[in-house]
């Protein structure tokens, strides 16, 4: 899996980049077959935004974003939102070989 970290008008410390990469890898394990991920740090004005995109081989794209006054809390919220999406997508999948009504 390839992880792309992109900073737009932002100085992102290496520790935060490492934290973002670890969070994406942790989520990717749960969502299976993740092809790549993009983490964007956007710092326009006073607001800091973190956007995370996960693309899977056989899945739709998952996207989460969060705004805060600093990147660390924005990253935490974006990761929580992405984890919630992964949980929902895992619950909504039909079991393999399941019986159909009819």
pLDDT for the residue 1:
87
Q: 């929902």: which residue's tokens?
A: 88
pLDDT for the residue 56:
86
| Over residues 54-83, mean pLDDT | 93
Separation of alpha carbons 62 and 20, rounded Å: 16
Residue 99 is encoded by which pair of tokens?
A: 């019986």
Q: What is the pLDDT of residues 13-41, one digit of tens each?
A: 999 999 999 999 999 998 877 899 999 99
Q: What would the DSSP string read from start to end of 5-49?
A: EEEES----HHHHHHHHHHHHHHHHHH--EEEEEEEEEEETTEEE
Q: What is the pTM of this model?
A: 0.84
Alpha-carbon radius of gyration of the chain:
15
pLDDT for the residue 102:
45
């Amino acid at each position: 899996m390839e992880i792309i970290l992109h900073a737009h008008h932002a100085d992102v410390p290496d520790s935060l980049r490492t934290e973002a990469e670890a969070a994406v890898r942790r989520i990717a394990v749960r969502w299976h077959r993740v092809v790549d991920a993009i983490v964007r740090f956007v710092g326009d004005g006073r607001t800091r935004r973190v956007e995370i995109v996960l693309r899977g081989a056989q899945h739709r794209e998952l996207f989460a974003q969060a705004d805060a006054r600093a990147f660390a809390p924005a990253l935490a919220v974006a990761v929580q939102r992405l984890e919630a999406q992964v949980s929902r997508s895992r619950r909504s999948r039909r079991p393999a070989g399941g019986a159909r009504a009819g």
